[in-house]
Amino acid sequence: MSETLFSKIAAGEIPAEILYEDEEIVAFRDVSPQAPVHVLVIPRKPIPTLNAVQPEDAHLIGRLLLVAAQIAAREGIAESGYRTVINCNAGAGQTVFHLHLHVLGGRPLNWPPG
């Protein structure tokens, strides 16, 4: 199993403010928040990008979204609104090649994002 920065966070080898974890998924605050609430939801499985997701990962990917909605509710941004983002590859801004879903909220979010 390849080691990524995020798999080290998931394993507790690098500190992070963990908000949720189970056998498949970990959620923690982004170290460089772009909004008052900025949480990353990751699978423990080190899938490098959305392009690498396989049909057998469908349940896991669905669960990432369910955990994101649960975090948004807990963080008090479910009603005001929030955005979920998966950056895929460098041209979209991906810097950590371990699949992750950003959950952003707590301030007005422009659309289109630019």
CB of 102 to ligand DGP, least distance (A): 6
Task: Give the nearest distance from C-beta 36 to ligand DGP in angstroms.
Answer: 14
Cβ nearer to ligand DGP, comparing 31 with 66: 31
Residue 25 CA to chain centroid, in angstroms?
Answer: 10
User: Helices in 1-114 by DSSP H: which ranges?
Assistant: 5-10, 58-75
Q: Answer yes or no: 100 catalytic.
A: yes
Residue 88 Cβ vs ligand DGP, minimum distance, rounded to whole Å: 9
Torsion of CA 27, 99, 61, 56, to 10 degrees: -130
DSSP 3-state of 84: strand
Q: Which two tokens stand for residue 78?
A: 């479910």
- Write down the catalytic residue from 38, 98, 100, 102: 100
> Where along the sequence are the contacts to ligand DGP (CB under 6 A)?
5, 14, 16, 28-32, 40, 87, 93-96
Active-site residue list: 100
